[in-house]
Amino acid sequence: MTLDRRKARHLIFILGDQLSPAMSSLNGADPAQDVLLMCEVADETTYARHHKQKIAFIFSAMRHFADEMRREGFVVDYVKLNDRGNTGSFTGELERAVARHRPERVIVTEPGEWRVMEMMRGWEEAVACPVEIRPDIRFLASHADFAAWAEGRKQLTMEFFYREMRRKTGLLMEGDEPAGGKWNYDAQNRKPAADDLFMPRPKRFQPDAITTDVIALVEDRFADHFGSQEKFGWAVTREQAERARDAFLKDALAAFGDYQDAMLSRQPFLYHSLLSPYINIGLLDPLDLCRRVDAAWRAGDVPLNAAEGFIRQIIGWREYVRGVYWLKMPGYGDMNFLGATRDLPDFYWTAETEMNCVRHVVEETRDHAYAHHIQRLMVTGTFALLAGIDPRQVHEWYLEVYADAYEWVELPNVIGMSQFADGGILGTKPYAASGAYIDRMSDYCGSCRYDVRQKTGPDACPFNPLYWDFLDRNAKKLSRNQRLTQTYRNWARMDREKRKAYLDSARAVLKGLDDAPKTYGRTKGG
Ligand code: FAD
Ligand code: DLZ
Ligand code: SF4
C-alpha cells in the first residue's frame, strides 16, 4: 500500500495558516499511526482574489512545512493545486482523504475565519466520521476568555484588554506594576523619520526551487490577480522566519517605537518587522517573539518605548481584534454605520493617481504585498473613509492585497479601526485627517502635484476639503461624539464662504472619482 493510501488512526487536517508543530491538532499525534492532510485548493485562492505573492508565499510555506513534518517521521498526504482529481475545496478534499485513509477520527484546529468554521461544522456529516475541532492555542485569549472580558462593558477599550494580557503573561511587568511605571508609551512613538542610507533592511530571501515552482504555478493559474512577484523575498521555512525575526530584534527593534508612524518614499519598510505573515501562518510563535522582545529590553539592548510599542501590537491589538471578530461575527462584515456607498476607485489597483501618498502605498502594495500600519490606516484607509467608499469593497481590497491578510485580523482593522463602519465598537472616533497629518509624518507631499497647504481649489491636497466634507456629511452621526466636539465647533465657527469653498472643492474631487471608469477589482474577472 502506498503511504498516501495508508489506513490512519487519526487524519489530522492542517490548514495553510496552521504551519506549526505546536498546533493543537498535532497534540498527541503519533507518526506511526496518524496521517497529516494538507491541500492546496482553488476555493481558498479565489474566495478573495489574493495578491499573487500571497498565494505563492502560502503554497511554498505549506510545501516546506509538509517536508518539515516528514522529517519528523510523519506521513503527509499533500494535495497540490494541479493534482488530478483535486476538488478545489476543503470539504471535497477531506471527503477524498477520508476515503483513502478510513480514519477513526479527523482532528483539526479551529480555523481563523468564520466562513471556514461554518464549513467545518458540516464535516462530520459530510465525511461520516467523527471530527474533533480543537481550539487554536496560538492565542492568549480564547473566544470564551474574550467574551467574558467583553461581557457588560459599554466600550471594548483595547487598552484595558491589553493590561490584562500584560498581567497574564508577565511581559514588561515589574511585580504587579508595568515596567517604567506606565502601561503605554505611544506618545513617544510618533516621530517623523529622515531618509537614511544606513536604515536596516528587513531580511529577505532568494526563492528556492520550491518557491520558484509555485511562483510559476501562480503566474500560470492566477495571471489576472493583483500584484507582482518580481520582488518576492518572503521567508518560507521556520528556520528562515527565525532568521528574519533575529535580524529585526538585532537591527530594527530599538528604533521601532520612535518611528512607528513615519512614512518615507524610498524606505517602504523603515523599522517595521515584516513578521506578520509569519506569525499569522504559524512560522513564528507570537508569545515567544514577545518574550524575546522583553528579554532584549531587560538586557538593556532596546529602550522601553520600543519594546512596549511592539509588544502592545501583538498581545494588545492582535489579540484584541481577533476577540472582536469572533464576538461580532457573523454580521460584522456587513456593517456600514456611515452608509458609505461609493465604488472603490480604480487607482487602488492601478496606482494611477496624482496623489503621491496613495500612489506610493499602492505601488508598494503591488510590489511587496506589504504596506506598514500607518500607510494602511492613514493613507489608503483614510482616503477611503473621507471619500465615502463602500466599506465592503474596502474590506475586500485589504483582504486581497496583503500577504498577512486573513479575515479575523483584517476585518476589524478595516471595518472597525479604519472605516468606522462598526459605529465605534473598536475605536472611539474615525481616523479622519487632512493632508497635514501625512505631511507631518512623511516626505510624500514635497513631490506631490497637489499642494498640502492649499485648503481649497483645484490644486489643493484632496484630503483637505474631503476632511471637512466628511465631517459635514456625517454630522448627524458624529457630531455628538465627545472626541469630535471641538472639531465640530471649529466647523460651525468657520465663515460661510470658507465652508462653501471646502464643500465645493470636495464635490469636485468626489465627482472626479464618480466619473472615472471602474474596470478593476470587483468588475475585473468577476
Ligand atoms: P510591525 O509594525 O512590525 O508590528 C508588529 C506586529 O504587531 C505585526 O507583525 C502584527 O503581528 C502586530 N500588529 C500590529 N498592529 C496590528 C493590528 N492593528 N492588528 C493586528 N496585529 C497588529 N495585520 C495583519 O496581520 N493582517 C491584516 O490583514 C491587517 N490588515 C490591516 C488593515 C488595516 C486597514 C490596518 C489599519 C491594519 C491592518 N493590519 C493587519 C495591522 C497592521 O497594519 C499589520 O499587522 C502590520 O502592518 C504588519 O506589518 P509588520 O509585521 O511590519 O508590523
Ligand atoms: C489563504 C490560503 C490560500 C490562498 N490557499 C490555501 C490553500 O490552498 N490551502 C489551505 O489549506 N489554506 C489556504 N489558505 C489559508 C486559508 O484560507 C485559511 O486557512 C482559512 O482562511 C482559515 O483561516
Ligand atoms: Fe497626499 Fe495630499 Fe500630500 Fe499629495 S499633498 S502627498 S495628496 S497628503
| Every domain of the chain and the residues it spans | 10-134, 143-202+252-327, 347-525
Residue 402 has pLDDT above 90, yes or no: yes
pLDDT at residue 201 in the model: 86
Residue 190 has pLDDT above 80, yes or no: no
What is the full DSSP assignment across 24-63? Answer: GGGTT--TTT-EEEEE--HHHHHTTT--HHHHHHHHHHHH
Residue 372's contacts (CB-CB under 8 Å, 6 or more residues apart) are 263, 268, 269, 270, 272
Ligand 2 pocket list (CB less than 6 A): 15-17, 39-41, 44-45, 50, 55, 58, 111-113, 116, 406
- Cα–Cα distance, 143 to 289 (Å, whole number): 22
Instruction: Find the mean pLDDT for residues 20-39.
Output: 98
Does this model's pTM top 0.95? My answer is yes
pLDDT at residue 4 in the model: 61
pLDDT at residue 6 in the model: 80
Domain 347-525 falls under CATH 1.10.579.10: yes
Residue 88 has pLDDT above 80, yes or no: yes
What average pLDDT does the structure give for the chain? Answer: 95
pLDDT at residue 2 in the model: 55
Residue 118 has pLDDT above 60, yes or no: yes
pLDDT at residue 463 in the model: 98
Strands 105-109 and 131-134: parallel
Residue 505 has pLDDT above 70, yes or no: yes
pLDDT at residue 36 in the model: 98
In percent, the amount of the chain with pLDDT more than 70 equals: 98
For ligand 1, atom 28, the nearest C-alpha belongs to 405
| Cα 291 from chain centre | 22
Instruction: Find the mean pLDDT for residues 272-298.
Output: 98
Residue 59 has pLDDT above 70, yes or no: yes
Residue 520 has pLDDT above 80, yes or no: no
Ligand 3 pocket list (CB less than 6 A): 355-357, 435, 438-439, 444-445, 448, 450, 452, 461-463
pLDDT at residue 188 in the model: 73
Of the residues 396, 404, 411, which should be mutated to test ligand 1's pocket, given the most ligand atoms within 8 Å of the CB? 404
Residue 3 has pLDDT above 60, yes or no: no
Q: Please tell me the CATH code under which domain 10-134 is placed.
A: 3.40.50.620
Ligand 3 center from residue 264 Cα (angstroms): 13
Looking at the domain covering 143-202+252-327, what would its CATH class be? mainly alpha
